Chain A
Amino acid sequence: MVASLRRHLAVVTAAVLVTAALAQSTLRIGLAEDPDILDPALARTYVGRIVFASLCDKLFDIDTSANIVPQLATGYTVSEDGLTVTIDLRTDVVFHDGTPMDAEAVKYSLDRAKNLPGSNRASELEQLESVSVVDADTVELHLTTPFAPLIAQLADRAGMIVSPTAAEELGEDFGNAPVCAGPFRFVERVAQDRIVLEKFEDYYRADEINFDRVVFLPIPDTSVRLANLQSGDLDMIERPAPTDLGVMRSDPNIVIPSVPSLGYQGITINIANPEPRTDPLSSDPRVREAFELAIDRNTINDVVFGGEFVVGNQPVPPSSPWYVPEIAVPERDVERARQLLDEAGVDRVQFEMMVANNPEAIRVGEVIQAMAGEVGFDITLRATEFATALDLQEQGQYAAFPVGWSGRIDPDGNIHQFHTCEGALNESGYCDPEVDRLLNEARAAPTMEARYDLYRQALERYLPDRHIIYLYHTVLFFPHRADLQGFQAYPDGLIRLQGVSLAQN
């Protein structure tokens, strides 16, 4: 009797296991856009990084609090003079084509990221002079100057190690069939339709991977993406519309992990691009201060984003260890703003604000327009298709433009190129040698404390100039089916599938 019961149980258990195994064979993730080329050296889009997280492991990674942790590396040491970084590697890793992931491969990948024509990583690895192989599982990175953000760069695409064999063999076509050392291997891609990856059995953490396949489906329309999640055609989506969160929260089949992003949203003001400008907003910091004081950040957050985002006044969100709490978020102060305009000798300030041509950006523009109008700013909004807006911004044909930055793990990535005189993304034409000095020193400083202090000084110096007025930080939401377990949201917005599984129904 007992034996028969036991056998019966065993059969049932086996059946459940088989069903579970079948049921959890494929994970479907809805992306907000179609990624661009899938070559870590050439890739440019945020959404592409989400696919890479399943495809290509990196030397380093981050944890849920944005601390850097080893991934393909096991650790690193920096020499006394800051010019040599020695990285120890895991010894149990192979690429999807079966070749070993060793020091030679790391050297190959870093050299490739630096030298491949058109590489988007070249500037990220600017301070990397050469890589030498010490032994099979140790590499030395030689730098031209000490560069603290390097390890953070290696925790993103610059640190993804590709199979040298495949890269040599495929050449320019590598991005159409990438071979890395991540948990899933590339199967196929149909442009604008899907990217299919399958579990890599020889992955060094294969026991943490519970899906045979993961399929990424680009679905740009937020309501359609949500409908697919609600109907069960997708297991997870990224970047839902904040205004849809209410609907999702009331759906018992959906849970929504979230985390503040590493980036910021603010208003970039053109003060000297390409030439110094003479209008009151560009030429007088008091007018810009009045403009900032006219704006209530919480109102923008409440009206446009249902209060789901995080207000802020710095290039990093308040949740970041690099945030300076002493520099408080300014409150709206109409009286003081009026007073500043009087001091500046202007009554009403007229300017045109370019906004991206999408409903959210336009609403942000309208809220700012209304609040600033009460103080004395007559703002005309010019809704501009995003590609055109980027073009106009680069050419300096704009006065003000609310625009964001998706953010980097190291604060340098959110600050340096925007505020240094020669910064590649310095679209406001700002230039202050003292800010340059502080930001350059912060790159080379050896400890986090020293760097924090330098960034604090830099912020205290450039924030009052208000060529970028930081407003809020987006929050990353990853709504997924309630039966999906073990998923954690990371502040870099990547979807990591290690340890994620579907519950047995």
Chain B
Amino acid sequence: MLPFVGRRALTAIPTLFIVTLMVFAIQRSLPGDPALILAGEQQDPEVIAFIRQKYRLDDPLPVQYVAWLAQLARGDLGLSLRTNERVLGLIGSKLPVTIELAVLSMLVAVAIALPIGVLAAVRRGTAVDYGGTVFALTGISVPNFWLGIMLILLVSVQLGWLPASGYVPLSEGVWENLKRMIMPAFVLGTGLAGVLMRQMRSSMLGVLRQDFVRTARAKGLRGAAVVVRHAARNALIPVVTILGLQLGALLSGAVLTEQVFTIPGFGKLIVDAVFNRDYAVVQGVVLITATGYILINLVVDVAYAVLDPRIGAR
């Protein structure tokens, strides 16, 4: 197992290098001068010149790139052009928020998708199956931001049950935190649940047809035990793949949901940074996200090995 993990970890280095090159190149090719945006409405030429000099925007691109890499090597992600805060600190304060949101959404998604998926497979062709399909399609089709705004209007404005948006750190009260996370986690979770449920159902159908399930039944095991202990466990493998990919996507992709619910997470950080051409922040966020993806993929691979020992042995 260890050499397997080590090999996978080594491949991360060239990947990260390519990521730095791409995020740098793509960002610099965007029109929109950060110095102009930063200077604001006033646009004093001296201020613009000062900003260009301070953030080395006047240097040739290769020089800027190498300087950034040298900075990275020291573990320094630089300063936000807009607020002068440390990018590492900014990311450090946003990452836990997004991770919490991602994990909660995953829990919502899994709690909805797995039982429905299994039931739909076991009761294939019945009303349960069709109901599940309709639910899955709805979850996938309804845009997150729309569902978010509708929920805010219904739950917060009309009923007054939950706060409309914002974020309270866990350290300031679990309930205060959850009150603000329930709706966004639900919105993101239902979107994911559709995909997961479809995957669980088809994977389950495949497994239920296999010999070992028939054998287990023939041994006299009862339906539920067969389904849960034997079939579902094996059907989970492709589902874990999807889960891993989606968790990665959630880290960067909760953008719209974070905007709607004004959750100060990763997605919101990067959207605002792109609009403000805050190079240092965009670069830092993309790099950390890429690292996150690589880590998650690694964990998924390890999870395969645990679920199906044949994979690790290869």
Q: Name A's B-contacting residues (CB within 8 A).
A: 34, 36-37, 44-46, 117-120, 122-123, 172-173, 175-176, 190-194, 217-221, 223-224, 227-228, 230-233, 385-388, 390-392, 394, 405-406, 424-425
Query: A218 — nearest CB in chain B belongs to which residue?
Result: B262
Query: How long is the Cα–Cα vector from A228 to B163 in the complex, in angstroms?
Result: 8
Check if B82 sits within 8 Å of A231, measured CB to CB.
no
Q: Is the CB of A224 within 8 A of B33?
A: no
Across the interface, which residues of B come within 8 angstroms of A223, CB to CB?
149
Specify which of B84, B152, B160, B268 lies most central, judged by the most chain A CB atoms within 10 Å of its CB. B84
Tell me if B269 counts as interface (CB < 8 A to partner A).
yes
Say whether, besides A46-B41, A120-B39, A120-B40, A36 and B156 are in contact (CB < 8 Å): no
Chain B 26-61 interface residues, beta-carbon cutoff 8 Å to A: 30-33, 36-47, 50-51, 54
Chain A, residue nearest B79 (CB): A172
Q: Which of A175, A194, A391 contacts B84 (CB 8 A)?
A: A175
10 A/B residue pairs, CB under 8 Å, sorted by A: A36-B38, A176-B83, A191-B80, A221-B262, A228-B163, A385-B275, A386-B275, A390-B37, A391-B32, A394-B36
Please tell me if the beta carbons of B84 and A37 are within 8 angstroms of each other in the complex: yes
CB of B203 closer than 8 Å to a CB of A: no
Contacts of B167 in A (CB 8 A): 193
The residues of B that contact A122 with a CB separation of less than 8 Å are 44, 46-47
- The closest CB in chain A to the CB of B153 belongs to A227
Distance (whole angstroms) from the CB of A359 to the closest CB of chain B = 15
How many whole Å from B287's CB to the nearest CB in chain A?
Answer: 18
CB within 8 Å of A: which B87-123 residues: 90, 93
Partner of B166, one of A37, A172, A217, A220: A217
**Interface presence of B134 (CB below 8 A):** no
Contact with A along B247-266 (1 / 0, CB 8 A): 00000000000011110100
Most chain B C-beta atoms within 10 Å of own C-beta, residue among A120, A231, A388, A394: A231
Is the pair B85, A192 in contact by a Cβ cutoff of 8 Å? Answer: no
| Residue B76 at the chain A interface, CB threshold 8 Å | no
Of all chain B residues, which has the CB nearest A124? B42
Question: Which single member of B38, B46, B83 contacts A191 (CB below 8 Å)?
Answer: B83
Whole-angstrom distance from the CB of A119 to the nearest CB of chain B?
Answer: 7
Q: In whole angstroms, how far apart are the Cα atoms of A79 and B14 in the complex?
A: 70
Q: In the complex, what residues of A have CB within 8 A of residue B272's CB?
A: 34, 192
Min C-beta distance of B254 to chain A, whole Å:
14
- Inter-chain CA distance A119–B269, complex, in Å, is 26
- Cβ of A44: which chain B residues have Cβ within 8 Å of it? 38-42
Counting chain B CB atoms within 10 Å of each CB, the highest count among A120, A191, A227, A424 belongs to: A191
Find chain A residues with CB under 8 A from B46 CB: 122-123
* Residues of B with C-beta under 8 A to A120: 39-40, 42, 44, 47
Assuming A123-B46, A193-B167, A387-B276, what are 14 further A-B pairs, CB within 8 angstroms?
A37-B83, A120-B44, A123-B42, A175-B83, A176-B83, A190-B93, A192-B269, A193-B262, A230-B157, A231-B152, A231-B160, A386-B275, A392-B31, A405-B41
Q: Are A224 and B149 in contact (CB under 8 A)?
A: yes
Q: Is the beta-carbon distance between B82 and A36 smaller than 8 angstroms?
A: yes
Most chain A beta-carbon neighbours within 10 Å: one of B39, B54, B262, B264: B262
Option from A45, A192, A220 in Cβ contact (under 8 Å) with B40: A45
User: Contacts A120-B42, A192-B272, A193-B264 hold; do A224 and B83 have CB atoms under 8 A apart?
Assistant: no
Proximity bits, B130-143, A CB within 8 Å = 1, else 0: 00000000000000
